[in-house]
Amino acid sequence: MDISINKDVCIGSGQCALTAPKVFTQDDDGFSELLPGRADGGGDPMVREAARACPVQAIALGE
């Protein structure tokens, strides 16, 4: 699974980091970013839920 974050859309709500903290974090400005080496989700089952939890749909998942 490929994960991408649209930084132009992200509002920094932090729902992704709360839902899947092994994959997502927030940068110094509070916006979402992937943890190093987690661009594929690392097999975390919560990645899909984190994408659904994003209030502005800034997270895209691909196969």
The two three-digit tokens of residue 27, written as one number: 């940068």
Residue position matching structure tokens 């691909």: 62
CA atoms lying within 13 Å on the CB side of residue 35: 13
Is the separation of the CB atoms in 18 and 49 below 8 Å? no
Each residue's pLDDT expressed in tens, for the chain with a length of 63 residues: 899 999 999 999 999 999 999 999 999 999 999 999 887 887 888 999 999 999 999 999 998
